[in-house]
Chain A
Amino acid sequence: MFAARALRSSTPVLRRAQQTRLQSTLQGAQDNAFNRERQAVKDHAAATSDLWRKLSIYVVIPSLLIAGVNAYRLWTEHWEHKSHEPPLEERVEYPYMNIRTKNFPWGDGDKTLFWNPKVNHHKQDE
């Protein structure tokens, strides 16, 4: 009791040392069902996170590469094929295509948001 009062009024260094000791006695969870389950979840996560780390590196990266190469191959093939097609103006515009009931609030009022003149065409422009 007297020692504690002496410490409280002593230098900051001593005070800190005393507080550290007090806090350290509070560390470590109590041994009960709740904390045991919590610890089990944490221990389980250690094993599973290693599995997901391996999957992220050894499965994800190769699959992304394969899918990327495949997409690139089909992409170039597609545009190569497209370059030999007749011009857009000769494409049939069926009645259900380019439906307009009123102007779009942007641009010239006729082009959709992702309009690309290289692949999209509206007969009324001619």
Chain B
Amino acid sequence: MSNLNRSIFQGHPFHLVSPSPWPLFTCISLLTLTTSAVSGMHGFESAGYWIPSALILVISSMFLWFRDVISEGTYIGNHTLAVQKGLNMGVALFIVSEALFFLAIFWAYFHSALSPTVELGAQWPPIGIEAINAFELPLLNTVLLLASGVTITYSHHSLIQGNRNGALYGAIFTLVLALVFTGFQGVEYSVSSFTLTDGAYGSCFYFGTGFHGLHVIIGTIFIGVGFWRMLAYHLTENHHLGLESSILYWHFVDVVWLFLFLSVYYWGS
């Protein structure tokens, strides 16, 4: 009898995943998005319908997959300490890959900025380009992002302490600061005297700040999901890996901004 009972217990701490349709769904959605985007860039007329449809497919696949992961981690209890270790490693590797992505963007920027070609007047910013004053909105945005780093830390430590209100309010203030940052970047873009098409300066400026802005928006959604999961009592004081990952991601986005502020906005003007 003991041997029969023994077979229903798991002798290791790992999560052996059950069959799931979402990896295949995600593959098909991502392939559709890539081919639609490439077709669009090559002037394929229906791309205007294909790209949004593919985006909806990708977002739906992510939504349904993450929903299952939440069930496994929060309700079924598959995310043991050993599994959490593996998930943390995955998040860390993802952030390393993001850091290298931004390294490439900064490389492109310094390549053009450190030795401006004669066509640009051999100067940086190029002749005729009126750079943005770093101490105006960019400085305010720096303060906003650093402030959001403080409030999200308050939220995180409150959660560990078991202070639900502190955790929720900290996250709300972080989200507000994040949205205000994105709003001010929008203002900055719409009053800028140079555009994406103004040579190496325009390309590098919007390449860097644009991808950073995209990451801010994604980070805001990431923290928003963490906020919702606190609200829904998903997160406990010692098991909140999703929120911790969003905080790590947010700090990464913050550091990228500091580099952008120093090299593109301040040094580059």
Residues of A within 8 A of B (CB): 38, 41-42, 45-46, 48-49, 52-53, 55-56, 59-60, 63-64, 67-68, 70-71, 74-75, 78, 91-100, 102, 105, 112-116, 118-120
Contact = CB atoms under 8 A, between A and B. Distances in A.
Nearest to A112: B195
Interface of B: 40, 43, 47-48, 119-121, 126-128, 133, 135-137, 139-140, 142-144, 147, 150-151, 153-154, 157-158, 160-163, 166, 170, 173, 189-200, 237-238
A11 to B, nearest CB: 31
Nearest to A54: B154
Contacts, number: 118
Given A55-B154, A114-B189, A70 B120 contact: no
Given A78-B136, A92-B128, A116-B191, A38 B150 contact: no
B160 A96 contact: no
Across chains A and B, which 8 residue pairs bring their CB atoms closest together, nearest first?
A96-B199, A49-B157, A52-B154, A45-B160, A67-B143, A45-B161, A71-B140, A74-B136
Nearest to B148: A60
Nearest to A79: B191
A74 B126 contact: no
A32 to B, nearest CB: 14
Contact of B126 (A45, A67, A94, A119): A94
Q: Is the interface of B mostly helix, strand, loop or mixed?
A: helix
Contact of B128 (A45, A56, A68, A91): A91
Q: Which of A55, A67, A75, A113 has the most CB of B within 10 A?
A: A67
B195 A53 contact: no
Given A68-B140, A71-B136, A75-B137, A105 B40 contact: yes
B160 A119 contact: no
15 contacts: A42-B160, A42-B162, A52-B154, A53-B158, A53-B166, A56-B170, A60-B150, A70-B136, A74-B136, A99-B197, A99-B198, A113-B196, A114-B190, A116-B191, A119-B193
Contacts of B198: 96-99
Given A94-B128, A96-B120, A112-B197, A49 B163 contact: yes
A114 B192 contact: yes
A97 B150 CA distance: 41
A94 B194 CA distance: 12
